[in-house]
A and B are shown apart, each in its own frame.
Chain A
Amino acid sequence: MRTPFNLNQRATRIFRSPAMIGWVLFLIGLVANAIVQPTLFKLSVINSNLGLAAPLIMVAIGQTAVVLAGGIDLSVGSIVTLTNVLVVSLYSFHHTGFWLAAIFGVAAGMAVGVVNGFIISVVRIPALLVTFAMMSIVNGVALAILPQPGGQIPADIYQIYGSTVGGLPFPFLLIVFGVLLWMIFRYRKIGRYLIAVGGADWSSRANGIPVTKVRFQSYILSATFASLAGLFLTSEVSSGDPLIGASYALNSLAAVVLGGTALAGGRGSVSGSAGGALFLILVQNIVYFANVPSYYQTLVSGLIVVIGLATTGVLYVRSGKLHLTNGR
């Protein structure tokens, strides 16, 4: 017995969609930031904020794919680092030309995803352990490739990254590109399968969904987005640093949860994660421009994030869709 479709129901659905939480948080953050920083909407300021947000949004999109399918990827930060040091060393020290270096750097990052996906979905070792170990290994490889910060990329690359195209900040276009890239997957079989697998592993199997394959692919997706993030971050910093991606693992997870995606999988959205990522970037501005004393900044920004996470949790309880155990 389905009730007929009506506008009211549709509005309820939008309000209750998981992405909503991420965007509400983002809007609250935006208003708070604008109050303490009157120059927030200057183009140059928007540009510098988006320059830092773009890599985090990319990593968060990939992380969302994995989390939706019921997994977790702690190696994304090390993949960001790997792409960064590879691109910079190939270009600066082996003179390959930038674009060849970029392709190679992204391919190497994707290869890490293939290994992750294989061990997790085929060998069936828990994702938390596999990706944690992979994080150490890849960070070690990055240190071997570039033992100390150095190298550079062509000046035009980072100038373009900080520029505007047709009045729009270039990093914004990159974010749009990332979202479009995700759409390609989302509205194919893989996108629907990701959610099904995360929501109910066994019934998915029973219904003929290739669970192993979908899991496998989710880690490749995550690694792909992380390596693209590495490429964007390299354009932002214009040099290589073997420790540069360290913060992305936890920040991407925070963005995913703030964006309303259930850590147990099966429910959530990429656009919510993007909102969550933007919120995290804004929090840093807010504590700065609100003149929070330096020793309390970590505390205050942490508190803001915790309250954000609590909001997400409570809204889940409200909508009756809190999956803590996912029945497994």
Chain B
Amino acid sequence: MLKKGLATTIVLSLVAVFLLAAGCGTPTGKSTSSSGSGSGKSFVIGVANGYIGNDWRTQMIADVQQVAKTYEEKGVISKLIVENANNDVTQQISQIQNMINSGVNAIMIDPVSATALVPAIQKAQKAGILVIPFDGVVNNPKVTNITTDQYSWAKGGAQWLADQLHGKGNIILMDGLAGVPAENIRAQAEQDVFSKYPGIHVLQKVFGGWAEATAEQKMTSLIATYPNIDGIYTQDGMGMGIVQAYIAAHKKPPLMTGDVTVGFFKYWTEHQSSGFHSYVESNPPGIGATALEFTVNMLQGKKLKSSSIQANPVDTSQTNTVLVKSPLTVTDTNLQQVWNSTMKGKPSSYSLDAWLTPSQVDAYFQ
């Protein structure tokens, strides 16, 4: 009898959890679904984020919510629905389908896959929903991707290093992860810059996996191998690892491009006076907030300039991508100001962040 009671209790508690979940809010099925064009309307926007398991993505979603809030206060957005998938394509498809079924006006997608979402996206478009992939891209001619211009991002740092070295010296390239689309694009930019300077000699190119620990490990053996490193070009996520390797070797780090983390900025501000120089261009989590600005503009019926839409960096045969330039660059001159205004006091996992203002976004539209 006791066991029977237990089973009943569990079944009842299951029902209770469902009802509790149901009590969290009203069904979204009847939300204000207007046909989606013309200003003065209030929009429901869904955000299907493919992955939330790192600080960068968490910050990205927080940025989107922050910007959405200002639009909610103005009555432009009536509701923002955020869904996260665990890097699982089928889960993201299910979330997109739920957004379609609940009648949202637009779906922003940080895609798990560049191709597998296409049928779900077509279903959404058939239902008259605006689809904006952001951060990552989707290979479909009928969507508009919004992503940071990785080529220009990598080129900025490489060019700075070449200039600082006056076109002469031995450098190390600390790249991300071979085979990943963003890496391929960035590597191309590095090569395009450094090949212009015959005086710059690349001692070695290594892959630090955009991870601090891996970068530190690789750099430690590089310091032991090469006594003559004049400069280091590193992509993001690895700057502090490189610095740590130098600290452990009791050496001063050479001229190097830096990183967007609070840890790196702290080191930079503390050692600037003793001759440490760096350059940081943000690859900002704010791309999500920027994409939201684009989405709102497009929902209000504005059209992108044709010059704003460029080749998809992953599949260059398709012209469907807005490449957003990094909105913030930090050098010795503005370091102190950026540190004081946006970085100081933030947790060590925080990344330098920025997104385009409404007027900057306006420039992309007709």
Contacts and interface: CB of A to CB of B under 8 A. Distances in A.
A263 B248 CA distance: 51
Given A284-B91, A297-B84, A239 B10 contact: no
B7 interface: yes
B347 interface: no
B91 A314 contact: no
Contacts of B212: none
Interface string A171-205: 00000000000000000000000000000000000
Contact of B115 (A24, A52, A241, A308): A241
Given A289-B102, A314-B10, A148 B22 contact: no
B6 A36 contact: no
A36 B21 contact: yes
A37 interface: yes
A79 interface: no
Contact of A37 (B6, B29, B52): B29
Interface residues of A, number: 62
Interface string B81-97: 01110111111011101
B7 A244 contact: no
Interface stretch (A109-117, A124-132, A230-238): A230-238
A19 interface: no
Nearest to B7: A314
Given A246-B87, A289-B27, 18 more contacts: A28-B11, A32-B18, A38-B27, A39-B29, A42-B101, A45-B101, A49-B97, A52-B94, A52-B97, A149-B114, A149-B139, A247-B91, A286-B21, A288-B98, A293-B24, A298-B84, A310-B10, A311-B10
A311 B6 CA distance: 9
A229 to B, nearest CB: 11
Contact of B13 (A237, A281, A298, A307): A307
A178 B69 CA distance: 48
B27 A237 contact: no
A287 B94 contact: no
Interface string B13-26: 11101110111111
Contacts of B24: 290-293
B89 A237 contact: yes
A49 B84 CA distance: 18
Nearest to B47: A294
Contacts of A39: 29, 101
Interface of B: 3-4, 6-7, 10-11, 13-15, 17-19, 21-30, 49, 52, 61, 82-84, 86-91, 93-95, 97-98, 100-102, 112-119, 123, 139, 179, 181, 314-315
Given A36-B22, A289-B98, A291-B24, A311 B11 contact: yes
A108 interface: no
B119 A37 contact: no
Given A237-B115, A294-B84, A247 B90 contact: yes
Contacts of B93: 52, 236-237
Contacts of B23: 290
Contact of A239 (B14, B102, B118): B118
Contacts of A94: none
A311 B12 CA distance: 10
Given A241-B115, A292-B24, A314 B6 contact: yes
Contacts of A55: 90
B126 to A, nearest CB: 10
B15 A28 contact: yes
Contact of A304 (B3, B14, B90): B14
B29 A237 contact: no
Nearest to B111: A149
A174 to B, nearest CB: 16
A78 to B, nearest CB: 14
Contacts of A297: 83-84
Contacts of B10: 307, 310-311, 314
Contacts, number: 166
B119 A291 contact: no
A158 interface: yes
B101 A292 contact: no
21 contacts: A32-B15, A36-B27, A38-B30, A55-B90, A149-B114, A237-B115, A237-B118, A240-B115, A285-B94, A288-B83, A291-B25, A294-B49, A294-B84, A295-B52, A297-B84, A304-B14, A304-B17, A311-B14, A314-B3, A314-B10, A315-B7
A292 B315 CA distance: 36
Interface string A28-56: 10001001111100101100110010011
Contacts of B27: 36-38, 289, 291
A32 B22 contact: yes
Given A52-B93, A241-B89, A246-B88, A148 B181 contact: yes
Interface in A275-328: 281, 284-295, 297-298, 300, 303-304, 307-308, 310-311, 314-315, 317-318
A288 B91 CA distance: 11
From A36, A236, A284, A307, name the one whose CB has the most chain B CB atoms within 10 angstroms: A36
A39 B97 CA distance: 12
A303 B100 CA distance: 26
A243 interface: yes
Contacts of A303: 17
B17 A238 contact: no
A97 interface: no
A237 B116 CA distance: 5
A246 B161 CA distance: 41
From B6, B10, B14, B112, name the one whose CB has the most chain A CB atoms within 10 angstroms: B14
B115 A239 contact: yes
A150 interface: yes
A147 interface: yes
A277 to B, nearest CB: 12
Nearest to A320: B3
B113 A290 contact: no
B7 A149 contact: no
B139 to A, nearest CB: 7
